[in-house]
Amino acid sequence: MPVPLITRRAFLAAVAGAAALALLGRPLRAALQPSDLADLAEIERYLDSIRTMAAEFQQYDQEGRVATGRIFLARPGRMRVEYDPPTPYLLVASSGALVY
| pLDDT greater than 60 at residue 13 | yes
**Sign, Cα dihedral of 6, 78, 26, 24:** negative
pTM listed for this prediction = 0.57
Per-residue pLDDT band for 1 (boundaries 50, 70, 90) equals very low
Asked if the structure places residue 28 within a domain, the reply is: yes
Cβ–Cβ under 8 Å, residues 63 and 88: no
Structural domain range at position 27? 8-49
pLDDT attached to residue 81: 95
Domain check: are 30 and 58 in the same one?
Answer: no
Average pLDDT, the chain: 80
Asked if the structure places residue 40 within a domain, the reply is: yes
Cβ–Cβ under 8 Å, residues 60 and 69: no
Pick 17 or 100 by higher pLDDT: 100
Asked if the structure places residue 61 within a domain, the reply is: yes
| pLDDT greater than 90 at residue 31 | no
